[in-house]
Amino acid sequence: MKTILVTGGAGFIGSNFVHFLLDSDSGYKIVNLDALTYAGNPDNLISLENNPGYEFVKGSIDDSSLVADLFDNHDFDAVVHFAAESHVDRSITGPEAFVKTNVLGTQVLLQTAKKAWQDRYDKKRFVHISTDEVYGSLGPSGYFTEKTPLAPNSPYSASKAGSDLLVRAFYETYNFPALITRCSNNYGPYQFPEKLIPLTITNALRDLPLPVYGDGKNVRDWLFVNDHCAAIKLVLERGTPGNVYNIGGNNEWHNIDIVKLICAELGKPESLITFVKDRLGHDRRYAIDASFIKSELGWSPSVNFEQGIKKTIQWYLDNRWWWNAILKTSV
């Protein structure tokens, strides 16, 4: 049985990955390190409390003593590194936390894993989960490839680009067994309701205004979170150290069209839509070319956006207790 350190495993994508890995493969034990900040929610993993293949540790990735203790007490076969401050709006008003967690925290993990894994790199993997936002913004055409230069436009994406470059440097300098994945916008169960899709669903269910930035014409490529988890598992098991893998859903939508679609699915009037002042530095369009991971590892998304949004809406309908608890504590 392989033992994996998952950082940020109580967050949106991380918790979905923990569920996906334990549900799909009994050959893994997961140690989940999460600081349980605003986006980390232990309720995401409540069904795993008695699972012998799962252990939760509360703490921050920038706590070098704690991270060292974890590596001393476990012979990790791999690290899958999700932990990050990830909400762009919060990075605009408070960028310091993003640098601390995303850059310095990643450095702590890299340095500790390097020391623990010395002379055994061939049997180890460090998978760093990043974002297409590090590439900046696209015009009306074209796609991000793994060769696209990094040009981040927000404090969040700049901090993620910094962590990406640290990971790359550890591979280039030490031959450290690191891989990087960069995904498009995820959606699905357990997403913190500040983000566009869960915010729209939960507000619409309560007949509250549905805020849309600017003219609503910003374009994102949407990836159902389970498809992302499947891609990460492939990279973990079959990816080549040193490689970057773009993971995209091939589902480009304008923000305003997503909000209108959710209104239609829930039978809510479009009069709830409220246009608000655009976000500072709001990138106009993201779109990923995921042909490399398809050709190298055989991955492609299994769910289109129309299918995925129905699954997502149904999950929020079935799990009102989950998001109601978050909304009560964030008031």
Q: Phi and psi at residue 124, in whole multiples of 5°?
A: -120, 160
Chain centroid to CA 21: how far?
15
Region of residue 36 (phi > 0: left; psi between -120 and 50: alpha; otherwise: beta) = left
Which helix (H) or strand (E) segment is 306 a member of?
helix 305-318
- What contacts 184, CB < 8 A, 6 or more positions away? 132, 220, 221, 222, 223, 247, 248, 249, 286, 287, 288
CA–CA gap between residue 110 and residue 115 (Å, rounded): 9
Question: Under DSSP, is residue 38 helix (H, G, I), strand (E, B) or coil?
Answer: coil
CA–CA gap between residue 5 and residue 9 (Å, rounded): 9
Dihedral sign for Cα atoms in the order 190, 195, 196, 201: positive
- Catalytic, out of 34, 132, 221, 227: 132
CA–CA gap between residue 10 and residue 83 (Å, rounded): 9
Burial environment of residue 119 by CB neighbours within 10 A (0 to 12, 13 to 18, 19 or more): exposed
- 172 flagged as catalytic: no
- Catalytic, out of 121, 135, 143, 156: 156
Nearest 10 degrees: Cα torsion 106, 290, 199, 210: 130
CA–CA gap between residue 91 and residue 38 (Å, rounded): 14
Q: Phi and psi at residue 21, in whole multiples of 5°?
A: -70, -45
- 121 flagged as catalytic: no
Amino acid code (one letter) for 58: K
- CB distance 177 to 188 below 8 Å: no
- 34 flagged as catalytic: no
- Catalytic, out of 77, 133, 164, 283: 133
Task: Cite the active site residues.
Answer: 132-133, 156
